[in-house]
Amino acid sequence: MTTSTRPTAAERRDARAAAAAPGQDGVFTHRQILTVLAGLMLGMFLAALDQTVVSTAIRTIADDLQGYDLQAWATTAFLITSTISTPLYGKLSDIYGRRPFYLFAIAVFVLGSALCGIATSMYELAAWRAVQGIGAGGLMSLALAIIGDLVPPRQRARYQGYFMAVWGTSSVLGPVVGGFLAGQSSLLGVDGWRWIFWVNVPLGVLAFAVVVRVLHLPHERREHRIDWPGALALVTCLVPLLVVAEQGRTWGWASTGALACYALGAVGLVAFVLAERSYGEDALLPLRLFRNRSFTVAGMGSVVMGAGMFGGLLLLPQYLQIVQGASPTAAGLQMLPLVAGIMAGAMSSGVAISRTGRYRAFPLVGTVLMTTALVALSFVVDADASYWSLVPLMALLGIGLGMNMQPVVLAVQNAVSPREMGVATSSVTFFRQMGGTIGTAAFLSLLFTRLPQDIDAAVTEAVRAEPALGPRLQELLAGGGAADLSDTSFIQQLPQALALPFEVGFSDSIDLVLLVAAAVVALGFLVLWFLPELPLRDQSGIQAQAAARQTAGRPAAADEEAQATQAAGAAAPTSTAPPVGRPGDADAGDRGRGG
């Protein structure tokens, strides 16, 4: 009689953890990295998709829940919680480890998605969207920080390019999926729009299972104080500012409510700075980081580029739908050239950085390409422009975007201590989100402020050319469908002769906003010009922390000898970069590149 030798559940779990863990030198294999990457990309896909999937369906949802005047709060609630939670995830993951917080983020996001699908009012939907946002804040920033733990900076850009591809793809799929599901009156017996949220549940469960199985990062917990005052002050600062950014156009930027939000935000900012000074190294965002030139320049550049980038991305779908009459689904598919450009720019810059060890040129070239594309689009965009005339310019804008975002994150990760990888990465993401929020609010405000003037001018010109149109156009302007320009669906219902003046007015207004967006991106070039180029480290975050722990235990003489050896290696000629997928094997001479 033989006894069973089947391993127990605990033994199988330990075996999986051992297989997913790095070697004794802290190096992960290419296969291990790609396996982890699959789970991270699923999580990032969920967060990025949900930023756009609701936008095309929100009117349908609001009508069904009888809350048309409350629809903006469903977007605002998600924005507030995702923005505020981003720096919290970064700091806490530096202290306690990435894995538990990434799993927490996925679980909360899935829970929020499931609850959104059963909402019975806009108030409920806004509350559950806020829960979703708490999870989404960690999915984006922690994915980048985890890659920083796994892969040395020299090889990191190529892997981060996959994230850009996911982000770009979800930006296109969001309107397509949202428009399709919202257009279904019923799907499997329930309202079609509810599946916009429920589709996240199986994807989220899959991402959770993959991460549980494959993500096993060594982490050393350290003594700390929790910066609760800083977190509370950050909430006090950001919530009113994000609310006024989303609602200011409706309220009026100088209204009593807006002024109260500005004042409360300023009080929160002062309290946040005082709290961070008091907590020092334990602060949510240590002020010492701002003495790091790479961190400061990247943070300022991310705010500016976020504003210009989201401004441009917002305007093109607006033009395709309002002026060219495309449905939300069709407009999403027509943005594919932009996504192809993002993927090409991200992948090509990642390969080049891996081979050369130099990264500073790519965000600069990217801003030039983006500025050129936005300026050219402002001249091409008009009421009778051919879609195919936009395609090369959208691709150029995408290439610039792809070359810009990841090298900036890489520069910050390379410039800070590996112990601060999470807070540094999440801070760059946070600054970009804030810039995007400010840019979206400013550009929409400019668009709708300028719009009545441009439509009046276009109507005057149309009446001069064809006087018979005058009475009907004046009726539309005075009290018909054009009275509320926030709902532009009436344009597609008009005969072409009547619709043309409105299309001309919209395209003229969009031209102006594209030029302003180009100016903002050009300002980003000036900011990023001061980004220093440091030699890319040849160790991943995990390897660097392990080396630091070993060094801390050496006698002083041994430490001096190690420093002398490292200095000699830095002065040696550079060698060819190692194959991607075997991080940590880079020659010591690679440290000398990039200055």
pLDDT digits (tens, 9 = 90+) for 135-172: 988 888 888 888 888 888 877 777 777 777 787 777 77
- Rounded Cα distance between 447 and 453, Å, is 11
pLDDT greater at residue 162 or residue 374: 374
The secondary structure of the chain in percent helix, strand, coil, rounded to multiples of 5, reads 80, 0, 20
- Does residue 574 sit in the same domain as residue 499? no
Whether 123 is in a domain gets the answer yes
Residue 274: inside a domain: no
Q: Which residues fall within 8 angstroms of residue 423, CB to CB, at 6 or more apart?
A: 87, 90, 91, 94, 284, 285, 286, 289
Domain assignment present for residue 14? The answer is no
Total domains, the chain: 3
Which of these three, 169, 200, 221, is where a domain ends?
A: 221
Residue 561 has pLDDT above 80, yes or no: no
Cα 434 from Cα 242, distance rounded (Å) = 8
pLDDT tier at 396, thresholds 50, 70, 90: very high
Which stretch of DSSP H or E encloses residue 450?
helix 421-465
Residue 49 is part of a domain; what is its CATH number?
1.20.1250.20
Q: What are phi and psi of 132, to 5 degrees?
A: -55, -45
Are residues 509 and 580 located together in one domain of the fold? no
- CB count within 10 Å of CB 395 equals 21
pLDDT score of 520: 92
- Kindly tell me if the per-residue pLDDT of 480 is higher than 60: no
| Range name among 21-25, 44-48, 189-193, 465-469 with the lowest pLDDT average | 21-25
285 pLDDT more than 50: yes
Q: Residue 575: what pLDDT?
A: 39
Residue 345 in domain = yes
Say yes or no: 560 and 548 in one domain: no
Query: How far apart, in whole angstroms, are the C-alpha atoms of residue 401 and residue 381?
Result: 20
Q: Do 532 and 561 belong to one domain?
A: no
Taking only the tens place, the pLDDT of each residue in 521-544 is 999 999 999 999 888 877 766 767
Residue that is last in its domain, among 200, 221, 242: 221
Domain boundary among 221, 252, 270: 221
The pLDDT value given to residue 222 = 64
- Evaluate whether 285 touches 416 at the Cβ level (below 8 Å): no
**Same domain (yes/no): 433, 579:** no
The pLDDT assigned to 263 comes to: 94
For residue 506, tell me if it sits in a domain.
Answer: yes
Q: Is residue 9 part of a domain?
A: no
pLDDT for res 564:
41
- Rank 174-178, 517-521, 556-560, 565-569 by mean pLDDT and report only the highest: 517-521
Q: How confident is the model at residue 468 (pLDDT cuts 50, 70, 90)?
A: low
- Tell me, yes or no, whether 540 and 570 share the same domain: no
In this structure, the answer to whether residues 311 and 378 fall within a common structural domain is yes
Which DSSP symbol is given to 584? Answer: T
Same domain, 518 and 580: no
> What span, in angstroms and rounded, lies between the C-alpha atoms of 63 and 48?
25
Give one word for 572, left, alpha or beta, with left for phi > 0 and alpha for psi -120 to 50.
beta
Residue 102 has a pLDDT of 92
Residue type, 349: S
* Mean pLDDT value across residues 12-32: 59
pLDDT above 70 (res 505): yes
Q: What radius of gyration, in Å, describes the C-alpha atoms of the chain? A: 26
Is residue 365 predicted with pLDDT exceeding 90? Answer: yes
Residue 355 and residue 471 in one domain: yes
Calpha distance 467→439 (Å, rounded): 40
Choose between 286 and 115: higher pLDDT.
115
Q: Could you tell me if residue 229 is inside a domain?
A: no
What sections of 484-555 are H helices per DSSP? 496-528, 541-552
- Rounded Cα gap, residues 375 and 389, in angstroms: 14
Coil, helix or strand for 187? strand
Residues 47 and 151 in one domain: yes
Handedness of CA 211, 131, 438, 239 (dihedral sign): negative
List the structure tokens of 215. Answer: 């993500």
Q: Is residue 236 part of a domain?
A: no
pLDDT at 548: 67
Name the more confident of 226 and 15.
Answer: 226
Amino acid at 581: G
In DSSP terms, 187 is beta-bridged to 190
In this structure, the answer to whether residues 515 and 570 fall within a common structural domain is no
Q: Give the tokens for residue 340.
A: 């192809």
Q: Are residues 187 and 299 in the same domain?
A: no
What is the per-residue pLDDT across 207-240, written as a single tens digit (0 to 9) for each? Answer: 898 888 888 777 666 667 778 888 899 889 988 8
143: tokens are 């994915």
The whole domain housing 563 covers 556-592
- Give the residue with greater pLDDT, 68 vs 65: 65
pLDDT beyond 60 at 3 = no
Q: List, for residues 294-344, the tens digit of each pLDDT value.
A: 999 999 999 988 888 776 677 888 788 788 887 777 777 888 888 888 888
